[in-house]
């Protein structure tokens, strides 16, 4: 029982990706990446408009300061603007107190630019995990209505593999929040990540299609949450000096992404994440409850 498919975009400049943490990046290259981020995001806005699709954009808060018109244009085009933290640091780098400050600063900056409330959050690198489960309490305390940071897969950088694969109530120590996990495909007793990012660029497109179609046949409420990054649609950008594995993960398939996204937008219906959240709540469906914190 599909509630909605969601096309979401994590908006940050290319040099902010986790694989590039600690790399020396010149001011000139940072400026170039910022300009390319805006251009790629605007191209995606055009592509979504042509397909008559509304999406969710999780935006780094600093971009509301550096590119306010871009964030305002995303909102005015009918898309949802959510928070992707203030400056794209993993949750592991915070204490509960400093994470609270980061969330509030990002949320306020985005709301000041758009004039509308920010309801959703996605942590950089899906970094709400067992060891950062305290983030659930902080997200709820800061007034977020839902989160999309828990990936139910095994990965060297993120994931809670035994978390529900469908929308669920994430339980912190004292508070809770609605969680929209990225799409996975269950096969051979494992959760195969089919939601986007490197998996979108590496796997044949039929794998993501299969995940969306199986989600539509689910007997329980399901949200087909996909995620992409503007830099993944910019094949001619200067490449970062990454190590071999990170370079392969980062740049494989980037020349295929625009055409692949166009095919998905033409084949499946998509809505904003907040619309899926509203429908889930209106349905009165009893969602799984899963302890994180």
pLDDT, one tens digit per residue, over 39-86 is 999 999 999 999 999 999 999 999 999 999 999 999 999 999 999 999
Give the span between the Cα atoms of 209 and 184, in whole angstroms. 11
Q: What CATH number has the domain bearing residue 223?
A: 3.20.20.370
- 283 or 36: which carries more pLDDT confidence? 36
Question: For residue 109, which of 133, 85, 140, 139 has the smallest C-alpha distance?
Answer: 85
* Domain span including residue 145: 2-291
Asked if residue 194 has pLDDT above 90, the reply is yes
Quote the tokens at residue 226. 């996909």
SS3 238: coil
Neighbour order of strands in the sheet with 56-59: 222-228, 2-11, 56-59, 80-83, 120-121, 146-147, 176-179, 168-171, 289-291
- Helix 68-76 × helix 96-114 angle, to 10°: 70
Rounded to the nearest 5°, which phi and psi values hold at 232?
-70, -10
Q: Percent of the chain scored above 90 by pLDDT? A: 94
Average pLDDT over the chain, rounded to an integer: 96
Question: For residue 158, which of 149, 166, 167 has the smallest C-alpha distance?
Answer: 149
pLDDT band at 293 (very low <50, low <70, confident <90, very high): confident
Asked if residue 24 has pLDDT above 80, the reply is yes
On the CB side of 228, CA atoms within 13 Å amount to 27
pLDDT, one tens digit per residue, over 113-129 is 999 999 999 999 999 99
Asked if residue 16 has pLDDT above 80, the reply is yes
CA distances to 16, 36, 64, 235, 262 from 32, rounded to whole Å, are 13, 6, 18, 14, 26
Count other Cβ atoms within 10 Å, centred on residue 225: 25
User: Measured at the alpha carbon of residue 169, what is the angle toward residues 164 and 170, in degrees to the nearest 5?
Assistant: 80
Give the span between the Cα atoms of 223 and 219, in whole angstroms. 12
pLDDT, one tens digit per residue, over 212-270 is 999 999 989 999 999 999 999 999 999 999 999 999 999 999 999 999 999 999 999 99
Q: Answer whether 209's CB lies under 8 Å from 174's CB.
A: no
Q: Answer whether 119's CB lies under 8 Å from 281's CB.
A: no
- Listed in sequence order, the DSSP H helices in the chain are 27-51, 61-66, 68-76, 96-114, 135-141, 197-202, 205-216, 244-251, 257-267, 273-283
Q: What is the pLDDT at residue 156?
A: 79
Domains held by the chain: number: 1
Residue keyed to tokens 């949750």 = 91
Asked if residue 1 has pLDDT above 80, the reply is no
């Amino acid at each position: 029982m599909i509630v909605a498919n969601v096309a979401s975009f994590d908006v940050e400049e290319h040099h902010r990706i986790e694989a590039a943490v600690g790399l020396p990046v010149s001011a000139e290259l940072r400026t170039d990446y910022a300009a390319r981020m805006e251009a790629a995001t605007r191209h995606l806005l055009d592509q979504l408009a042509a397909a008559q699709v509304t999406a969710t954009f999780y935006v780094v808060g600093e971009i509301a300061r550096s590119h306010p018109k871009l964030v305002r244009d995303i909102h005015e085009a009918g898309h949802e603007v959510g928070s992707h933290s203030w400056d794209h640091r993993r949750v592991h780098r915070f204490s509960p107190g400093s994470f609270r400050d980061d969330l509030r600063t990002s949320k306020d900056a985005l709301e000041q630019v758009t004039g509308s409330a920010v309801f959703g959050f996605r942590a950089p690198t899906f970094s709400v995990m067992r060891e950062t489960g305290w983030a659930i309490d902080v997200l709820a305390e800061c007034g977020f209505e839902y989160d999309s940071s828990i990936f139910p897969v095994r990965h060297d950088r993120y994931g809670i593999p035994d978390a529900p694969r469908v929308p669920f109530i994430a339980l912190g120590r004292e508070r809770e929040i609605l969680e929209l996990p990225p799409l996975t495909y269950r096969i051979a007793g494992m959760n195969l990540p089919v939601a986007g990012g490197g998996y979108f660029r590496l796997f044949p497109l039929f794998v993501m299609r299969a995940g969306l179609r199986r989600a539509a046949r689910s007997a329980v409420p399901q949200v087909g949450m996909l995620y992409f990054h503007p830099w993944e649609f910019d094949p001619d950008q200067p490449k970062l000096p990454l190590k071999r594995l990170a370079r392969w993960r980062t740049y494989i398939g980037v020349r295929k992404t625009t055409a692949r996204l166009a095919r998905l937008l033409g084949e499946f219906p998509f809505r904003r994440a907040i619309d899926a959240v509203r429908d889930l709540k209106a349905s009165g469906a009893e969602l799984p409850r899963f302890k994180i914190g």
